[in-house]
Copies of this chain bind each other. A is one copy, B any other.
Amino acid sequence: MTKPTPDPRHTLTLRDVSEASGVSEMTVSRVLRNRGDVSAPTRERVLEAARALGYVPNKIAGALASQRVNLVGVVIPSLSNMVFPEVMTGISETLDGTGLQPVVGVTNYLPDREESVIYEMLSWRPSGMIIAGLEHSTAARTMLARAGIPIVEIMDIDGDPINHAVGISHRRAGRQMAEEIIAAGYRKIAFLGTQMPNDFRAKKRLEGFEEALSRAGLTLVDREYYSGGSALLKGREMTAAVLNRTPDVDFLYYSNDMIGAGGLLYCLAQGIDVPGRVGLAGFNGVELLDGLPRKLATMDACRLEIGRKAARLIADAPPASQVEELFPTLQPGDTIRH
């Protein structure tokens, strides 16, 4: 029978466990970290005392003393667009064996916010940082470069990494999709996308897309932007707008699958022949949409793999900077004719 747990008004320290078990603080510390050799009986007594007291170690003190923090900062623009949760899965999965823990910060695509999130995170001296994108404020870049820890910029490789980078070429992805569409015989192509000046990756995809069009002697016949609201709904609305304004359009290229899905549902509801009369394509390869009546053409962004490789880089901390390019596969689905 152990005595009832003592007054929980003060947070427990190693000292409390030490006194309760009659073993020095140092030995208690060793037991709790599975460090060094501790005799089995001592170890038992310590563990029992710690458990009975409900001791939770103070990582702040531990980190200060050991100069070691098992945290990895992850800075992403948004949680709500289906793409980052999957990246997080890859990161967690890979970090799981390593003793490292991801800590997420969200920037909402705001550079100022990104800067302050990075600053806050660095002030906890994490073991590494994973950050979406290659575009950051000068101050942010400087902080990261000086932090003396592995930095991995993810999603995109079209640019100049601070340290490591893992991602795809969005420029090339846009180009590839344009080539596929042109090869399928579409000629009156419109773009429908988000109005986010700081979504650099969407911007690069569009650049690549237009580049390929222009190489084929084509230009976009229409474009439509949106911001906020339900993506599915916006997809419908934008699609309606474009089809009305430019009746002879024969392809709609969406900046993401979600608005593409809205467009697809709209076309089907209107009885528009897809992909005969108009073709459609999105971007991301979100599994979420697999249940649609027709499979939207898209490119998967290798999200899981990006998360995994980024985490690997943090865990392994190779001395030399690395850039890992992944290659998305184009999934023609049922909305591009062939």
A106 touches B125 (CB 8 A): no
A233 touches B291 (CB 8 A): yes
Measured in the bound complex, the distance between the Cα atoms of B7 and A146 in whole Å is: 10
A103 in the interface (beta carbon within 8 A): yes
B103 touches A103 (CB 8 A): yes
A188 in the interface (beta carbon within 8 A): no
Measured in the bound complex, the distance between the Cα atoms of B120 and A290 in whole Å is: 37
The chain B residue sitting closest to A117, CB to CB, is B101
Q: Which 10 A-B pairs have the closest CB atoms?
A: A232-B291, A233-B291, A230-B290, A79-B85, A233-B290, A262-B291, A80-B85, A59-B123, A8-B146, A230-B287
B125 touches A60 (CB 8 A): yes
Measured in the bound complex, the distance between the Cα atoms of B59 and A123 in whole Å is: 5
Interface size on A, residues (CB 8 A): 58
Task: Beyond A60-B63, A103-B104, A232-B292, list 5 extra A-B contacts (CB 8 Å).
Answer: A56-B122, A58-B123, A64-B64, A88-B106, A261-B291
B147 touches A56 (CB 8 A): yes
8 CB-based A-B contacts, threshold 8 Å: A59-B123, A60-B69, A64-B64, A88-B106, A101-B120, A103-B104, A229-B290, A232-B288
By a CB distance below 8 angstroms, the chain B residues around A92 are 106
A11 in the interface (beta carbon within 8 A): yes
By a CB distance below 8 angstroms, the chain B residues around A124 are 59-60
A230 touches B289 (CB 8 A): yes
The interface centre, meaning the residue of A147, A229, A288 with most chain B CB atoms within 10 A of its CB, is: A288
B236 touches A265 (CB 8 A): no
Measured in the bound complex, the distance between the Cα atoms of B54 and A229 in whole Å is: 39
Measured in the bound complex, the distance between the Cα atoms of B148 and A58 in whole Å is: 14
The chain B residue sitting closest to A78, CB to CB, is B85
Measured in the bound complex, the distance between the Cα atoms of B63 and A82 in whole Å is: 35
A97 CB, min distance to chain B CBs, angstroms: 14
A332 in the interface (beta carbon within 8 A): no
B-contact bits for A54-96, CB 8 A (1 contact / 0 none):
1011111101100001000000000110101110110010000
The chain B residue sitting closest to A105, CB to CB, is B101
The chain B residue sitting closest to A231, CB to CB, is B288
A142 in the interface (beta carbon within 8 A): yes
Measured in the bound complex, the distance between the Cα atoms of B80 and A288 in whole Å is: 10
By a CB distance below 8 angstroms, the chain B residues around A147 are 11, 56
By a CB distance below 8 angstroms, the chain B residues around A235 are 291
Measured in the bound complex, the distance between the Cα atoms of B258 and A290 in whole Å is: 12
B-contact bits for A312-331, CB 8 A (1 contact / 0 none):
00000000000000000000
Quick one: which of A221-253 are within 8 Å of B by CB?
A: 229-236
B79 touches A232 (CB 8 A): no
By a CB distance below 8 angstroms, the chain B residues around A106 are 88, 92
